[in-house]
Chain A
Amino acid sequence: MTETLSLEVERSPRELLLARAGDILQRGAVVNAGIAAVVLLLGLIAGTHIIANLFDLLRGVLLVRYSGTADLALAVVILLALLNVSLLLVVMVGVVAREVWTLPALVLVVIGNLAALVLLGFTPALVTIGFALWAGVVLRTDTQAFRVNPVMLKELRGRMRGVRAFAVMTVYLGLMSGFTLLLYLIYGTVARSSGSAAAGEIGRVLFLGVVGIELLLIIFIAPAFTAGAITGERERQTYDLLQTTLLATPSFVIGKLESALGYILLLLLSGIPLESIAFLFGGVTELELVLAFIILLVTAIALGTVGIYFSAAMPRTLVANVRAYSVILGAMFIAPVIASAVLNMINNLLFMRAGAPLSPFFEALTRYLDLLLTSVNPVETGLSTQSLLVDQRVLGFYAYTLRSDGSTIPLVSPWITFTIIYLAISAVLVVLTIRRTKETSI
């Protein structure tokens, strides 16, 4: 018996190729994160006005064709770089898990960055385009490596079979319709008695009600779909079988996640007609519908990954469920209350000590802190995004005028920061889940 250990036998050429492409994309994400950090730092320096015209200089270099103010330009650059980080990480996970959607996603990343380069003059796009093309060149020799995820296919076949999936959907839509009707009747009565029944207001209330209920359902459904994904396989003792096959851990984790999110996506899509009832009364725009959908979907993705992380980290489904729900309910309902209380306290404290309106620096700081806290909670994000959209017609970036000295700071509608933060959390959790699953496997 020979004892030669050759790594060529251990990893097939295809696996080596995929690992290399994954590394390239990861490097691209790291470089983009670096760009965001450096620009943030330079922005802070520029904010102190120590170096004259630094803002304009940076805009001239990073966002050549942008017509807004220079400080806003920096915010755009930072967010675009962070968006590229998330996208490259997602594609990287896709490459390692050999997902079919990887190559189209890679092409979309390149096209998106090209568009940003041409339309906004977003020069850092060249970095992302470079890394994406490099990965594409590496993968070009073996496009056969990508395939439909077998775990996802298996799970969806099981989930969609028989009457169960359709019964769940019927009950879900039935409850939602009942709730909408109830809301309409209650609101109609109240409005009639008070004598002010603007149709637009009914529409807005119905829309908010339906989206709110959907969000609540997602908070409860998403972790339930994923918390048993890995522990369930262990408990049914099918996990051993999978481990002795050549199925890679990333494929397993991504497949589980895709199948759970696929079904949630179906539930969300089937809810759109109900949300659209608001259009009959007016007061709600298509844009709000799209934004609500994005916020719901991003919430589902993040909560789903929380569930799957605990499924990998915990030995049993029950424990995984308990942990996932404690963390999610804590983050969704308890943390915002505490956070806003703390923010209020800081606000009061600073205000009282100064005995006058806040200094511009602290006011700006509290505004940013407020934005951050808003964007870690889907409910607050939704409400704040809607009020910005309706009251100020703001969808993306805007200049906020400080009350203290009348100067402006760049701010962004919270749905953008929310999406980036939640997707980043999801990407990190997926990577951790893969690591956890591998640890327990030998």
Chain B
Amino acid sequence: MADLIIETRDLVKKFGKFTAVNGLSLEVPAGSIYGFVGPNGAGKTTTMRMLTTLTRPTSGQAWVGGHSVTEQPRAVRRAIGYMPDEFGVYDDMRVWEYLDFFAACYDIPETERRRLIEDLLQLVDLSHRRDDMVDKLSRGMKQRLSLARTLAHDPAVLILDEPASGLDPRARVEIRELLVELARMGKTIFFSTHILADVGEICTHIGIVEAGQMIAQGSMADMRAQLQPHREITVTLRDETAVETLKSVVSALPGIVGVTELEPKNGRSRVRIDFAGDDDAVADLNAKLSGASIAILGFTEETKDLEAMFMRVTKGIVS
């Protein structure tokens, strides 16, 4: 396994009697885009607050960039860029002043800040709003500015809490593209979300959390394979007779797990073939069916989407 840049072991956080995070173990490889997914109240924000040294864990340990969150908070702060789910608004501040202030907080000398601000604004495509007041920006722009702020000290890890929440579709896509771009620049991106489409689109790794515990985590490919052990191919046929022919042809082939007749759709019969095999085997199957002169209207492989995956592993418990 690649080097882990964020790691937690049995992390627990209790607020009085309420347990927000309950023995969470997290493994984020360096250079990954890690989607931290879970229902509201699952403990995502609390976990992130512990990783960013804002909240002290009740028990358990956490390391970011090799530094213990509890023992070396300043070293951790140097390694991370954190974006909370709410945009911290300073009234009476221009866009460049906002970045200048945070750059100064990260001890970047004044002589370098000017150049840095221009670069950051260019990266998040806000150069044209440089002298505007922060509270005049749209929500998407504020989110991009926030992202620029997290990059001021060139951290190795970005910890982003719900970066796409409350954004319109266009702004969401822009943020997503920005994250991919940042990952290309070598940053590790650890972000929480409940928008599964975002995860499927850009993540290399995923962790699913529920009721303060990690239910499943790993690379996207592993998770897909784990949750969906065989391929599903749906064949659309012209009529009932074709169904019988298909069944007889298919059942003789190797690697077939099951053949199920589905509800007809638009008056057309449909059959689902559960099938274990690689792409060559799928092509082979397709050729066999064509050769058997069955009236086939459609042949598609269904990839189970993340939502189905998510629904299967989570139980809907919100503590």
Contacts and interface: CB of A to CB of B under 8 A. Distances in A.
Interface stretch (A4-12, A88-96, A182-190, A206-214): A4-12
B281 interface: no
Contacts of A144: 109
B105 A236 contact: no
B15 to A, nearest CB: 15
A140 interface: no
A141 interface: no
Contacts of A238: 88-90
B66 A442 contact: no
A159 B89 CA distance: 15
A154 B88 contact: no
The interface size bin for chain B is 35 or more
Contacts of A1: 4, 7, 63, 66
B36 interface: no
Interface stretch (A244-252, A256-264, A335-343, A348-356): A244-252
Contact of A245 (B4, B102, B109): B102
Contacts of B153: 245-246
Contact of B104 (A9, A10, A150): A150
Interface string B80-101: 1010101011111100010001
B114 interface: no
A405 interface: no
A408 B84 CA distance: 68
Nearest to A7: B72
Contacts of B4: 1
Interface in A207-237: 236-237
Nearest to B91: A158
A161 B90 CA distance: 13
Contact of A158 (B7, B49, B90): B90
B209 to A, nearest CB: 20
Interface string A138-150: 0000001001101
Given A9-B67, A147-B110, A154-B101, A246 B74 contact: yes
Contacts, number: 89
B196 interface: no
Given A157-B92, A158-B91, A162-B92, A10 B75 contact: yes
Interface residues of A, number: 30
Contacts of A394: none
Contacts of A241: 82, 84, 88, 102, 149
Interface in A371-396: none
Contacts of B53: 243-244, 442
Contacts of A157: 92-93, 97
A153 interface: yes
Contact of A240 (B88, B91, B106, B149): B88
B75 A9 contact: yes
B106 A245 contact: yes
Given A1-B7, A236-B88, 10 more contacts: A1-B66, A10-B71, A10-B75, A153-B104, A154-B97, A157-B93, A237-B88, A241-B102, A244-B52, A246-B153
The 9 A-B pairs of least Cβ separation, nearest first, read A150-B104, A158-B92, A238-B88, A245-B105, A247-B105, A244-B82, A154-B101, A10-B72, A241-B88
17 contacts: A1-B4, A1-B7, A1-B63, A2-B66, A10-B73, A157-B93, A237-B88, A238-B90, A240-B82, A240-B88, A241-B82, A243-B54, A244-B52, A244-B54, A246-B105, A246-B106, A442-B55
